[in-house]
């Protein structure tokens, strides 16, 4: 890995074993993009890649009419001079103009990577893991500066990017758009993949052909959302899971975002990713700065599985933090679907005791333990235990759970308040709302104004009190409504354009303070299931509740879609009761577990209410997961067959040393007199022998001839007709 600056030509070459990224100072002293893709030899001069081309009606730069920014690939384009495509940023200057001219001033190359203050970001554990480049640009007329930051990683085909604005001039400026990344590519022969959905069906992959005009996804909901995920892939048309070129852009941020592709009329492609510019206006006085969040840009020429594996490894090792980042996750039992808010200490202890008997390690008490929270109309904001339900408090309950030999976890929803709460009665101005206008409610609740420090401080104090008083090993941090009427009561008009971003900074700062005080707590983020499942959250909470839809068959799709951008160790997945609460579907306890294994794994039901035979199965499932969770949560995950395209879903995980693997195989609907099926495994050693049960196969056999899976006419495999599944455990002969 290296970053080279060629002084003579003003060109930078960032490269590692797999990728090259070349950019250079353009004739007008702005920064130009020259190449991004597979590693190429370094050389002094790539300036032939700046293509000068005169086109009728195109505006040329002063004194050089055959040079137009509109025809030039740039690093951080502005709007309003000779490029009239969508820009990476917009500044309004004091005279009302919005034209900028940011020219190269200097640069710094250094080992390692600097943290981004107050923001989540990938980090290095030692400076040898990455090398960074900061390029300083200045708008001479106004003395506003911007710094483009790039980090190239030694072990990943990844470049991370962010931008910092600094107002060194005397006049005030308003930043109206500040993307974290702009990437100009010479052609648009890509398919765009986005991960869209809604509550209960998050992260469905959607593929679109890029063509002239704009393709975009966004969230303006105040959180990254279930509707669109801040992650996109641009893949070549022939790229599939196992081969071909693709670029991924993942936004390390949890609030409003925009990811956009613009194909111009000459076929060039501009990708933008950053904070959504709508309702964003950040005033910078002299001496003030604004730091954008980070984008992680990954590249592959080996297909989408390889691209995903890059994100999985990077996010496990260099984004999540603390003692849980690579630790096997505890098998938990959560009471939500078992009791909703209707529980007593006695009923909770009964559920926990049965969990302990089955081998569960952590019991989690969900919503309903505080204030007057007997239904979802009240209580949020008052984080004091309800002694009518839990007479010995959270501390008392936690200690009883601990005495059973279980760890204890607790649910919070810190960002919300109900009208019927002491907090709202005392602080009606702590919510986001426009005075004099009606308040919208979502799940009967309002959003607290986390852009205000006093609000964040109050939540910190309340949560801190609970967490010091009780033996809490895990926190589920929920967030159950979208932000609307985004207005910070009492703040000046020019501050209102900061509110969405400051809200998220407030959430991050509360996480940070609690993580610092309680480094041993495992945090799981949640937002009505997976409505804030993003890389920003993973910096604070290494796992996220993936969806409120716990139906195993639905979960195949949701977990499959989530795996494109996020590691298996981050995917919260539980076995729940049947008929399923969301779909009414009944799926065997085997299939429910066979799906939930590929995540953090746990149960979300009352184990007292299942049959003795099922309970015996549960015990075996927990034993199985204890044995294999290390492999599942940290191995290489491969998608083999998509539930979006066929009746068969399949995936597998291979250990880093390729000596072990686990395959999940899910024929969704029963076939009558169906054809024969084979599963072509991958990622194994060609020359090693693997056992599967009593049989032994060569690695190459399993990958090229395939594993025959249509031997399923036997009763044991097909007890219920539909929704069957099978787990294959592979061990290389030395390890068997």
Active site residues: 478, 548
Closest CB to ligand DGJ: residue number: 367
Chain Cα centroid distance, residue 224: 9
From 545, 637, 651, 690, residue interacting with ligand DGJ (rule: CB under 6 A): 545
Piece of the chain touching ligand DGJ by CB under 6 A; list 145-153, 507-515, 525-533, 634-642: 525-533
From 548, 554, 606, 617, residue interacting with ligand DGJ (rule: CB under 6 A): 548
With beta carbons less than 8 A apart as the criterion, state whether 251 and 180 touch: yes
From 380, 466, 521, 526, residue interacting with ligand DGJ (rule: CB under 6 A): 526
Residue 370 Cβ, how far from ligand DGJ at the closest point, in Å? 12
CA distances to 372, 594, 660 from 730, rounded to whole Å, are 52, 15, 5
Q: In the range 144-173, which residues lie near ligand DGJ by CB under 6 A?
A: none
Query: Is there binding between residue 230 and ligand DGJ (CB under 6 A)?
Result: no
The smaller minimum CB distance to ligand DGJ, of residues 262 and 548, is found at 548
Residue for token pair 């996480």: 511
Piece of the chain touching ligand DGJ by CB under 6 A; list 144-152, 153-161, 178-186, 521-529: 521-529
From 72, 182, 320, 528, residue interacting with ligand DGJ (rule: CB under 6 A): 528
From 93, 231, 253, 411, residue interacting with ligand DGJ (rule: CB under 6 A): 411
Give the residue from 483, 420, 472 showing the smallest Cα distance to 448.
483
CA distances to 51, 177, 194 from 180, rounded to whole Å, are 25, 10, 18
Query: Is there binding between residue 480 and ligand DGJ (CB under 6 A)?
Result: yes
Q: Which are the contacts of 429, defined by CB distance < 8 A and separation ≥ 6?
A: 489, 490
Query: Is there binding between residue 414 and ligand DGJ (CB under 6 A)?
Result: no
**DSSP state for residue 721 in the 8-state scheme:** S
With beta carbons less than 8 A apart as the criterion, state whether 727 and 628 touch: no
Query: Is there binding between residue 367 and ligand DGJ (CB under 6 A)?
Result: yes
Query: Is there binding between residue 277 and ligand DGJ (CB under 6 A)?
Result: no
Q: Give the β-pairing of 269-275 and 173-185.
A: antiparallel
Query: Is there binding between residue 202 and ligand DGJ (CB under 6 A)?
Result: no
Residue 528 Cβ, how far from ligand DGJ at the closest point, in Å? 5
What string of H, E and C letters represents the secondary structure of 652-689? EEECCCCCEEEEEEEECCCCCCCCCCEECCCCCCCCCE
Euclidean distance between CA atoms 593 and 590, whole angstroms: 5
Hey, is 271 helix, strand or coil? strand
- Locate 370 and state its tokens: 């505080």
Residue 479 Cβ, how far from ligand DGJ at the closest point, in Å? 9
The smaller minimum CB distance to ligand DGJ, of residues 226 and 234, is found at 226
Query: Is there binding between residue 598 and ligand DGJ (CB under 6 A)?
Result: no
Query: Is there binding between residue 478 and ligand DGJ (CB under 6 A)?
Result: yes
Query: Is there binding between residue 336 and ligand DGJ (CB under 6 A)?
Result: yes
Q: Give the β-pairing of 362-365 and 332-334.
A: parallel
From 87, 529, 599, 635, residue interacting with ligand DGJ (rule: CB under 6 A): 529
**DSSP state for residue 714 in the 8-state scheme:** S
Report residue 532: phi and psi, to 5°.
Answer: -145, 55
Residue 604 Cβ, how far from ligand DGJ at the closest point, in Å? 8
Query: Is there binding between residue 551 and ligand DGJ (CB under 6 A)?
Result: no
Residue 130 Cβ, how far from ligand DGJ at the closest point, in Å? 35
With beta carbons less than 8 A apart as the criterion, state whether 123 and 153 touch: no
Piece of the chain touching ligand DGJ by CB under 6 A; list 71-79, 390-398, 430-438, 522-530: 522-530
Query: Is there binding between residue 366 and ligand DGJ (CB under 6 A)?
Result: yes
The smaller minimum CB distance to ligand DGJ, of residues 328 and 367, is found at 367
Query: Is there binding between residue 371 and ligand DGJ (CB under 6 A)?
Result: no
The smaller minimum CB distance to ligand DGJ, of residues 529 and 567, is found at 529
Q: What are the DSSP calls for 363-428, one per residue?
A: EEE-S-SBTT-SSTTB-TT--SB-TTT-TTHHHHHHHHHHHTT-EEEEEE-TTEEESBSHHHHH-G
Contact residues: ligand DGJ, CB under 6 A: 336, 366-367, 411, 478, 480, 526, 528-529, 545, 548
């Amino acid at each position: 890995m290296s970053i080279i600056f060629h002084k003579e030509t003003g060109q930078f070459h960032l490269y590692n074993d797999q990728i090259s990224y070349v950019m250079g100072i353009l004739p007008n002293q702005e920064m130009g993009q020259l190449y991004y893709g597979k590693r190429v030899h370094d050389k002094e001069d790539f300036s032939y890649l700046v293509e000068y081309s005169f086109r009728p009606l195109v505006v040329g730069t002063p004194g050089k009419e055959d040079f137009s920014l509109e025809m030039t690939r740039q690093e951080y384009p502005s709007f309003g001079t000779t490029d009239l495509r969508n820009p990476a940023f917009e500044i309004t200057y004091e005279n009302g103009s919005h034209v900028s001219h940011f020219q190269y001033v200097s640069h710094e190359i250094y080992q390692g990577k600097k943290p981004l203050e107050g923001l989540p970001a990938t980090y290095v554990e030692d400076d040898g893991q990455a090398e960074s480049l900061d390029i300083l640009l200045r708008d001479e007329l106004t003395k506003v500066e911007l710094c483009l930051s790039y980090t190239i990683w030694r072990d990943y085909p990844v470049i991370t990017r962010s931008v910092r604005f600094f107002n060194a001039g005397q006049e005030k400026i308003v930043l109206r758009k500040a993307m974290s990344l702009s990437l100009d590519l010479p052609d648009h022969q890509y398919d765009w993949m986005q991960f869209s959905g809604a509550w209960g069906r998050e992260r469905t992959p959607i593929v679109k052909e890029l063509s002239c005009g704009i393709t975009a996804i966004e969230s303006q909901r105040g959180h990254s959302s279930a509707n669109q995920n801040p992650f996109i892939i641009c893949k070549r048309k022939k790229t599939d899971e196992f081969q071909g070129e693709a670029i991924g852009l993942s936004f390390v941020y949890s609030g409003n975002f925009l990811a956009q592709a613009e194909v111009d009329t000459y076929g060039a492609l501009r990708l933008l990713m950053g904070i959504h510019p709508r309702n964003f206006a950040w005033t910078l006085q002299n001496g003030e700065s604004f730091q954008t969040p980070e984008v992680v840009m990954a590249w592959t020429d080996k297909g989408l599985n390889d691209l995903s594996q890059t994100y999985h490894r990077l996010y496990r090792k260099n984004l999540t933090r603390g003692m849980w980042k690579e630790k096997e996750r505890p098998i938990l039992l959560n009471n939500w679907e078992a009791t909703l808010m209707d529980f007593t200490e006695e009923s909770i202890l009964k559920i926990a005791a049965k969990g302990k008997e089955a081998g569960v390690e952590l019991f989690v008490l969900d919503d309903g333990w505080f204030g007057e929270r007997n239904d979802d109309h009240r209580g949020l904001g008052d984080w004091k235990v309800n002694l009518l339900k839990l007479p010995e408090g959270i501390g008392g309950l936690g200690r009883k759970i601990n005495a059973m030999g279980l760890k204890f976890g607790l649910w919070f929803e810190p960002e919300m308040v109900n009208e019927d709460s002491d907090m709202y009665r005392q602080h009606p101005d702590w919510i986001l709302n426009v005075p004099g206008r009606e308040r919208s409610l979502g799940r009967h609740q309002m959003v607290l104004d986390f852009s205000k420090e006093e609000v964040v401080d109050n939540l910190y104090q309340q949560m801190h009190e609970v967490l010091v008083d009780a033996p809490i090993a895990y926190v589920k941090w929920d967030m159950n409504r979208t932000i609307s009427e985004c207005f910070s009561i009492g703040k000046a008009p020019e501050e209102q354009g900061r509110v969405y971003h400051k809200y998220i900074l407030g959430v991050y700062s509360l996480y940070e303070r609690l993580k610092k005080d309680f480094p041993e707590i495992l945090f799981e983020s949640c937002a009505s299931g997976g409505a804030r499942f993003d890389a920003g959250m993973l910096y604070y909470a290494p796992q996220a509740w993936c969806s409120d839809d716990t139906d195993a068959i639905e979960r195949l799709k949701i977990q499959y879609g989530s795996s494109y951008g996020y590691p298996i160790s981050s995917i919260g997945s539980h076995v729940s009761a049947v008929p399923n609460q969301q779909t009414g579907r009944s799926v065997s306890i085997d299939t429910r577990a066979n799906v939930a294994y590929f995540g953090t794994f746990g149960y979300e039901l009352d184990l007292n209410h299942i049959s003795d035979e099922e309970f015996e199965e549960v015990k075996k499932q927990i034993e199985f997961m204890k044995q294999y969770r290390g492999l599942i949560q940290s191995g290489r995950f491969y998608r083999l067959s998509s539930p979006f395209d066929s009746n068969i879903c399949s995936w597998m995980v291979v250990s880093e040393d390729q000596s072990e693997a686990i395959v999940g195989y899910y024929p969704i609907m029963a076939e009558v007199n169906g054809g024969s099926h084979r599963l072509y495994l991958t990622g194994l050693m060609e020359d090693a022998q693997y056992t599967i049960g009593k049989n032994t196969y060569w690695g190459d056999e399993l990958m090229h001839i395939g594993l025959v899976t249509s031997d399923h006419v036997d009763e044991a495999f097909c007890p219920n007709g539909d929704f069957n599944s099978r787990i294959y455990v592979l061990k290389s002969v030395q390890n068997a």
